[in-house]
C-alpha cells in the first residue's frame, strides 16, 4: 500500500493524470496545502485517482484555512499526527507536487 500526498489544486491536471496512472486500489491519498481543494469534487471515475484510492484524507488545518469544511463524506479529515501514523502504516510515501 502506497500513501500519496498531493499539494496542488485540481487545476494542475497533468499532476492528477500522473497520480491516476500510478495509484492502485489499496493506496491512500493525503491532501495538503492547495491539494485540499480536491475535496470540493466528487469523482467516481474509475480512471481518476479520486475514484481509485481506497481512502482519501485531507489535512484539517489546511481545509480550515481555506474556508472549506469536510462535507465530502468520501474524504476524511485528519491532523498531522494522523499524517505521521499513515506514513508509518503504508509501505512508502510518494509526494505529488
Partner 1 sequence: MPNDNKQKPILIVNQSAPYGNANAKESLDLALASSAFEQALSILFTGDGIYQLLPKQSPDDIQSKNLLQMLKALPIYGVEQLYVDQQSLTERGITELDTQLPIVLVNSVEISRLYHDAQTVFRF
Partner 2 sequence: MIFSVLVLGAPYSSGASYSAYRFAQAALDADHNESHNKNHSANHNECHTIHRIFFYQDGIHSSSQLATPPQDEFNLYQAWQDLQSTYDLDLVTCIAAAVRRGVIDSGEAKRHNKLQHNMSTNFSLSGLGQLVEANALSDRVITFGR
Q: What is the dihedral of CA 34, 36, 38, 44, to 10 degrees?
A: 150
**What is the contact mask toward partner 1 in residues 19 to 48, using x (rule: CB under 8 A)?**
--xx-x------------------------
Taking CB within 5 to 8 Å according to partner kind, which of partner 2, partner 1, none is near residue 18?
partner 1
Terminal alpha carbon distance of the chain: 20
- Give the residue with the Cβ less far from partner 2, 42 or 79: 79
Which position among 7, 16, 28, 77 is part of the footprint of partner 2 (CB under 8 A)?
7
Question: Among the residues of 4-95, which ranges form H helices?
Answer: 13-22, 49-52, 60-65, 80-89
Amino acid at each position: 500500500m502506497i500513501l500519496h500526498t498531493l499539494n496542488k489544486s485540481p487545476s494542475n491536471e497533468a499532476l492528477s493524470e500522473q497520480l491516476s496512472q500510478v495509484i492502485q486500489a489499496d493506496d491512500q491519498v493525503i491532501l495538503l496545502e492547495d491539494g485540499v481543494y480536491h475535496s470540493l469534487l466528487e469523482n467516481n471515475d474509475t480512471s481518476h485517482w479520486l475514484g481509485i484510492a481506497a481512502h482519501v484524507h485531507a489535512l484539517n488545518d489546511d481545509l480550515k484555512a481555506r474556508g472549506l469544511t469536510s462535507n465530502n463524506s468520501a474524504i476524511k479529515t485528519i491532523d498531522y499526527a494522523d499524517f505521521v501514523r499513515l506514513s508509518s502504516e503504508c509501505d512508502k510515501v510518494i509526494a505529488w507536487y
